Amino acid sequence: MQLGPKITQFRYNDTHLVKTPEGKRVLANLPGRKAGERREIKQILSSYHCKRCSKCCRGAFSIGETDGNYEHIMGLIKGRKKEFIVQNMGRGRSGTRYYDIGVPMKKNACGFLSWEGGEITHRTLIYSDGRKEGSGPFSCEIYDARASVCMAYPLNVSWMHLKLEDGTMDKRGTVIMDAGCPAIMELLENGIGHITESELLSLSDESGVHEDSLLYSLPKSLQEVKERMAEVEKEDRIVVNEEGERIYPVNAREIFIKNGYLIY
């Protein structure tokens, strides 16, 4: 039974972010798992298959020169300059240069997004998710050769500001599970606002997890994100619980804005 975001907000009401002397960001007072909740997480994530709703394709994405599909993607972008904004983000620790691939103001989504129903408009994205009678869902023109950050979704490196328990601001951001994905929103609606790294890995390794499900792909997503964070020397931005285990919170406004520890 779906309870809605408000119950999640209530459960995380006492959760707050603390910075340790070693510089780690700790989410303290996280709610414990209720009876059956671990099974519920598995059921939601293992039964979810991408519905091609396009919610993950409406903003910028980043790509590094070491990305396996870098040459292919950047070659396509060079021939379609009006559909993308390319910003040089500098080099990481190993010297890899990164680029932010943005969406021009007059565009509504990533230039590689297409829709069988015709032109992609703001109304199409917001009100119909690209679905109407007689038309198919959205699709990515480069899905089989997309950037690693896209492969990692719904795990996402978010540059939201962190508000510490003492009221000071930390602009370091963190890694989140993006509530723009319907599967992650379903977790939120069932009162689940975070998942630990060990939960993701152990659940994905259990029986009954289909290879085309979101849960099956999450270990690879975790690896993609951690490699990216290490490359840009920001691996310590991943928040942990009081036991030191990595935590991936859902970036839901209902929890974070009102509780005040993650600020957009």
Per DSSP, the residues of 195-233 read: EEHHHHHHHHTSTT--TTSHHHHHHHHHHHHHHHHHHTT
- Kindly state whether residues 164 and 247 are assigned to the same domain: yes
Q: Which of 145, 173, 202 is the last residue of a domain?
A: 145
Q: Which of 99, 120, 145 is the last residue of a domain?
A: 145
- Kindly state whether residues 165 and 257 are assigned to the same domain: yes
Domain encompassing residue 169: 5-51+153-263
What's residue 188's pLDDT?
86
Q: CA 5 to CA 155: how far, in whole Å?
A: 19
User: For a pLDDT cut of 70, what percent of the chain falls above it?
Assistant: 81
- Kindly state whether residues 44 and 66 are assigned to the same domain: no
Give me 21's structure tokens. 């002397």
What's residue 262's pLDDT?
44
Mean pLDDT over each residue of the chain, to the nearest integer: 80
Residue 14: name the closest of 246, 184, 248, 242 by CA. 242
Q: Which of 145, 162, 191 is the last residue of a domain?
A: 145
Domain count, the chain: 2
Residue 173 has pLDDT above 80, yes or no: no
Q: CA 257 to CA 234: how far, in whole Å?
A: 23
Of the candidate ranges 50-54, 178-182, 191-195, 232-236, the one whose mean pLDDT is the lowest: 232-236
Over residues 104-126, the mean pLDDT reads 78
Residue 66 has pLDDT above 80, yes or no: yes
Q: CA 157 to CA 69: how far, in whole Å?
A: 19
Hey, is 9 helix, strand or coil?
Answer: helix
- Kindly state whether residues 46 and 74 are assigned to the same domain: no
Of the candidate ranges 53-67, 179-193, 243-257, the one whose mean pLDDT is the lowest: 243-257
Over residues 110-138, the mean pLDDT reads 70
